[in-house]
Amino acid sequence: MGGRVARETRVTGIKSAALVGVAFGYFVFSFESVAQDAVTLPANTADQVAVSENGRQIYPAEFFAAFSPVTALDMTSRLPGFSLDGGDTGRRGLGDAFGNLLIDGRRPSNKSISLGTVLERIPAADVERIELITESGGEFEMRGHTRLANVILREGAGESSSWSARLSRWDNGRLTPRGSLSMTRTAGETEFTFGLEGGLQARRLIRREAFYTGGGTLLELREENDQRDYWEVNPTVSVSTTLGDGSRLQFDGRGWIWEWHRVNSGLVDGVSPTGTRTPIRYERSETFNYGMGSRGSLTWSRDWSDNFSSVTTGYVSYEQWEDGPEPFEVYDPVNFVEAVIFEAEGNYTELALRQAFSWTPGDAHTVEFGAEGAFNARDSFFALTYDDGTTVTPINIPVAQALVEERRAEVFGRYVWTINDAFTLESGLRLEFSEIAQTGDAEQTRTFFYPKPSVTLNWRVDDANRLRFAVERDVAQLEFGKFASSVDLDNNNQTVGNPDYEPQRTWTVEAEWTRNFGDDATVSITVGRDMIEGLDDFEPRFDAVNGRFFDVPGNIGDGTIDRVTLNATTPLDRIGLSNAVLTTFLEWYGTNITDPLTGRDRQFSGIREWEMRFDFRQTFPENQWAWGWDYYWLSNGRNYRANELQQNGFSDGDFDIYIETTRWLGVTTRLGADYVFDNGQDQRRYFFNRDLGGRQGRVVDFVEDRNVREGPTVYLEMRGTF
């Protein structure tokens, strides 16, 4: 089996090199043609051409007409070199939750409602233009993003409604609906938006597993059917108004309720030395999981003078969940043998208040400063019991109950200096203070202080070329779930909670070159290095009682990530495809860490060396239809545990295709298929002898090969505004 792994690695390397070579050659060919053709545009296309002005590209609404947009989301998705980013909303607090979207120069939401939802509510007819901003200045705050999209609405835009409906056919033959509806109305200076979205899913995963001895002898074959049914309902509300003093007040709220029902069944056959298969056990589990919650933010912004303004934001969120009880039952294969029963529940609370001030003492200088305070709490509990058919016995799990509370404060400052027309310097400093207290099965209180400086230099070489150099220190937030123990019965893994777990710290140095070819083609190359202190991973611990290693979430030492990223938007007229655009993302990661168990250098767990994404779309405006496809691919990766090594493959990638039209009532009607070439994702797991040092001892007890397939999903989707 080792030879097979080596061959797969060589094939992956050859495939990666070939893909990079083809992509590079294609871009050189295409961009040369775009550069040559960019100066020969017909005069009657002047209204459709973007204008470059002070570090921004201005795209009039006519530029997007060939794409037949229905909503503002359709328009921003066609911006050359731009990808919508909602910010790091998974982080606690508000400082990292700023997305790269502005509506009339203002950020439309802060963690409560997604930016995609905001854009879907805006009819394309209400958009006057979109500005693509590539450098910070007194008027706009980049907030760590390399590009911002500023959607400018036409005069009188306001009242609108949008809707969507989708019917999906899953690989198991089941049909499920999904839909959304939103309405925006105005009353004087106040604007109200109400929305409702929800739907059902019926995913089915087919697992096939083969279980071998360390020497390669086949022992078992397993086939599993994992049916997962899910439904959710999400109401939203937004209210914004202009007060008498000229200030603006905005509220955004979102609620959710969901249920997840899973039935997993599998038949395991034993395999004799002659290859004869005999059923030896039947395994089954079923669970209902529930959850609900809500979040809301209130923002008050005011311009105190022409050069001084303030923004005050409050945020509150609460959610709760219940998992199980879920019995993992084993039969022989007819009669009941045993079961392990899992159940868990928990809740999470977040409160945050942020005050920011902005001062522009002159055209070349902007200063922002302020403070933020937050309180977060996660209360969780899980239990395991063992049923032998006669009695039910609790299984003792360390750190099974944990209440984690965090009190955090941050002061921040940012200074932007427009040195001249070519250079802009942005610098910032954030000082974070926090206290984390854990009670329950383990109790302790710790305090942290981390400075987080950043410096970015933008150089506008000419109208077509831009360089960016950045240095930044970031401190990851602790995942509260890692303070408590967890169990994965599907994969037979248990992780003990770690009260001593610390946040990962990273220094990042990167440089980016961006070149525009005309107004509809762009390419950017980013080179960077991340120097990580206290890498967040599974930390091996030694149990002196039984002489075995086990895993806890923790910090395994210092490591590095070297990366090169290519982003490109390319029109394909050169090769005879009119109104066709190909968007490309290609990224290489080189990671290195000293393994705390073996002492040898290795790659990071979970990070793939190569990532690639293509997005193609061609429109036929005269016939009001379009088609397109996208493809996503990852190279093989590994996960390291104390007693296990996982090798994960994604060889087929994810290929999606669609065809759509807007010829009926101005409604976008799309027929598409996702996961078209889904032959399953492969995984190989090596289980090492626990009594001989686990992965450190390198003695393989068993090997498991697994293939998980979901199959293609076909859907019919309709979207419109009124």
DSSP structure string for 124-159: GGGEEEEEEE-S--SS---TT-S-EEEEEEPTT---
pLDDT value for 443: 87
**Residue 141 pLDDT > 80:** no
Residue 498's pLDDT is: 84
Check whether 202 has a pLDDT greater than 80. Answer: yes
- Residue 165's pLDDT is what? 97
Residues 359, 370: Cα–Cα separation, whole Å: 11
Complete DSSP assignment for 185-214: EEETTEEEEEEEEEEEEEEEEEEEEEEEET
Residue 318 has what pLDDT? 97
What pLDDT sits at residue 90?
Answer: 72
Instruction: Identify which has the larger pLDDT, 312 or 623.
Output: 312
What are the C-alpha distances in Å from 191 to residues 26, 195, 251?
A: 48, 13, 11
CATH classification of 45-157 is 2.40.128.20, yes or no? no
User: Quick check: 19 pLDDT over 50?
Assistant: no
pLDDT tens figures, 66-116: 777 888 998 998 888 888 887 777 777 787 778 889 988 888 866 788 888
pLDDT at position 16, please? 45
The span from the CA of 105 to the CA of 95, in Å, is 19
| Cis bond upstream, residue 325 (ω within 30) | yes
- Evaluate the CA torsion angle 713, 655, 100, 104 in order and state its sign: negative
**For residue 42, what pLDDT band results from cuts at 50, 70 and 90?**
very low
Of 660 and 721, more confident = 660
- Confidence grade of residue 50 (pLDDT, cut at 50, 70, 90): low
- The span from the CA of 84 to the CA of 87, in Å, is 9
Of all helices (H) and strands (E), which one includes residue 163?
Answer: strand 160-169
* Token pair recorded at residue 145: 């993003």
pLDDT digit string (tens) for 643-678? 999 999 987 899 999 999 988 888 899 999 999 988
Q: For 610-619, how does the pLDDT look when each residue is reduced to its tens digit (9 = 90+)? A: 999 999 999 9
Query: Average pLDDT in the 25-41 region?
Result: 44
What band does 682 get if pLDDT is binned at 50, 70 and 90? very high
Give the mean model confidence (pLDDT) for residues 408-437.
94
Distance CA 604, CA 188 (A): 56
Residue 304's pLDDT band, with cuts at 50, 70 and 90, is very high
pLDDT of res. 497: 81
Q: What is the pLDDT of residues 440-477, one digit of tens each?
A: 888 899 999 999 999 999 999 998 899 999 999 999 88
pTM here is: 0.86
Across the range 498-516, mean pLDDT stands at 93
Count helices and strands in the chain by DSSP H and E runs:
3, 37
Does the pLDDT of residue 510 top 80, yes or no?
yes
d(CA 154, CA 426): 32
Nearest to 118 by CA among 227, 238, 200, 213: 238
Q: Calculate the dihedral angle through the C-alpha atoms of 49, 518, 59, 40, rounding to the nearest 10 degrees.
A: 0
